[in-house]
Amino acid sequence: MINVSKIKKQYKLLCQLVSSRRVKDALDVLNKMVAESEYSDFFIQQEHLEHTYEQMLNYMLEGVQDPERDRVYHKLLTSILELADRVKDRLMENHSGWHTYILKREVDRQQELTGKRVIETMDDLSFKRELDEMMDEGRVSPEADDERRRKLSAEIFNHLWLSNRYNEAEKSLAAATISCRDFLWHEKSLYISAILLSGLRYWDEEKVHRLIDFAGEEDQEVSARALVALIILLHQYDNRVEFYPNIIHRLRLLKEELKLKRRGLISRQSGEVAALRDPDLTQNRQQEGRLEVHVRVPPALPAVRSGRGSIDEDDASGPPGGTVDIQPRGGSGGLGRGDGLSQRSGAERQGDEDGEDQRLHGLRQPPWRQG
């Protein structure tokens, strides 16, 4: 009796045999799985793979130099794996009883009601109208009509989750969710989870590419989740990625991009740490925060001198409402007791201060008491 455990063991064994290049043993396991599926199309495809393998063996025994041999051999290995994916999915749908496959049949039934069973472009999606409204920034805002937003997010999630193969429609859908600003970060994270779950259930090269697309998002909340999903998916199919050079190429580009971002982050952090560890630099920064004191000087303000510093009329000659920078005591360019502007005898300074106090006293008197 076939069960979920047996299906998974057969599928795992077949993938290991293909990775080890034991093609004949892999075809034998595939033959058993096809027989258990009882699906005629699988028999035809499996016989075609066996015929291709036998031809390759005959050419090798005869010493025929075929320049396309490596390409054909590579195609044979990937074709065995892809047929195994379809057979396993068929067996799981018939024998697992999982709610996933019940929901998948319901989504397929709703799609058939639109008259387009095969989804080739975004125009074939059953929720295309709602998606267009979302992408039209002038019609739907992120806060408006929460019920419609939740319904659309659920439909996008189910489609990305339950689709076995990603075609142009799924590629355009993922690109639309990334580029549209009306989709919030947690909604995009939800779609990343849908792609991951779909990839774990059914392998497809395009699902890896869509996760790489999300990993390049500027929003770190989105890109971080895409990277985690990508790592999980690649770990699950570690022995399989080698057959897809496009994935390897994009992963290398992504690696270089992440290196550049990491270097920039480390550079900024190193500058901050250096500032904290350098007492001179830290002291200078602290002094910079105290050095500039801007004092507004009215144009008619009389010369004022005090024991701590002085502002002469010449110093205050500037545009009305101008500012004069006062350096702290003892600082460079300051107006304290030690600077050149106050190098006079104590008697002169005292006389100036007394006269100044009298003049200020007169300014503070009412008009009828002055004189």
> Tens digit of pLDDT for each residue in 160-183?
999 999 988 888 888 888 888 888
DSSP class of residue 344?
S
Is the residue at 344 inside a domain?
no
317 exposed, middle or buried (CB, 10 Å; 0-12, 13-18, 19+)? exposed
Same domain, yes or no, for 218 and 133?
yes
Answer yes or no: do 104 and 234 share one domain: yes
Does residue 279 sit within a domain?
A: no
**Residue predicted with more confidence, 259 or 145:** 259
> Where is the domain boundary, 50, 76, 95?
95
- Domain identity same for 316 and 226: no
Task: Give percent of the chain above pLDDT 90.
Answer: 40
pLDDT digits (tens, 9 = 90+) for 71-127: 999 999 999 999 999 999 999 999 998 999 999 888 888 777 776 666 767 777 777
For the chain, what's the residue count? Answer: 371
Give residue 2's pLDDT.
80
Residues 127 and 33 placed together within one structural domain of the fold = no
Nearest Cα neighbor of 189 from 154, 226, 216 is 226
Measuring CA to CA, which residue among 31, 27, 28, 36 is closest to residue 7?
36
298 lies in the same domain as 209: no
Query: In this structure, are residues 86 and 201 in contact, taking their beta carbons and an 8 Å threshold?
Result: no
Residue at 258 is within a domain: no
* 124 and 222 part of one domain: yes
pLDDT digits (tens, 9 = 90+) for 320-329: 444 444 344 4
- Arithmetic mean of pLDDT, 42-47: 95
pLDDT, residue 286, reads: 53
Angle at 17 between CA 12 and CA 18, to 5 degrees: 100
122 lies in the same domain as 217:
yes
In this predicted model, which residue has the larger pLDDT, 366 or 227?
A: 227
Report whether pLDDT(70) > 80.
yes
pLDDT for res 341 = 39
> Domain check: are 115 and 221 in the same one?
yes
Q: Is residue 227 in some structural domain?
A: yes
Higher pLDDT, 355 or 31: 31
Residue that terminates a domain, selected from 74, 95, 116: 95
- Are 44 and 78 in the same domain? yes
Q: What confidence score (pLDDT) does residue 329 get?
A: 43
- According to the model, what pLDDT value does residue 332 have? 43
Q: In the predicted model, what is the mean pLDDT of residues 118-143?
A: 67
Chain segment 257-313, per-residue pLDDT in tens: 887 776 665 555 555 555 555 555 555 555 554 434 444 444 444 444 444 444 444
Domain boundary among 243, 270, 305: 243
Q: What is the pLDDT of residue 135?
A: 66
**Whether residue 186 has pLDDT greater than 60:** yes
Q: Are 11 and 88 in contact (CB under 8 A)?
A: yes
Higher pLDDT, 207 or 330: 207
Specify if 265 maps to a domain: no
Q: What is the pLDDT of residue 62?
A: 84
Same domain, 73 and 183: no
Domain enclosing residue 19, as ranges = 4-95
Q: Are residues 233 and 155 in the same domain?
A: yes
Integer CA distances (angstroms), 326 to 184, 301, 317, 338, in order: 50, 17, 15, 14
Average pLDDT, the chain: 76
Residue 52 lies in a domain: yes
**Among 181-190, 233-242, 284-293, the least confident range:** 284-293
d(CA 62, CA 45): 26
Per-residue model confidence as pLDDT tens digits over 148-161: 888 888 889 999 99
Whether 363 is covered by a domain: the verdict is no
Are residues 125 and 24 part of one domain?
no
What's the pLDDT score for residue 205? 95
Instruction: Give yes or no for a contact between 23 and 77, defined as CB atoms under 8 angstroms apart.
Output: yes
Number of domains the chain is built from = 3
Q: Which pLDDT does position 11 carry in this prediction?
A: 96
Establish if 10 belongs to a structural domain.
yes
Of residues 166, 156, 234, the one with CA closest to residue 200: 234
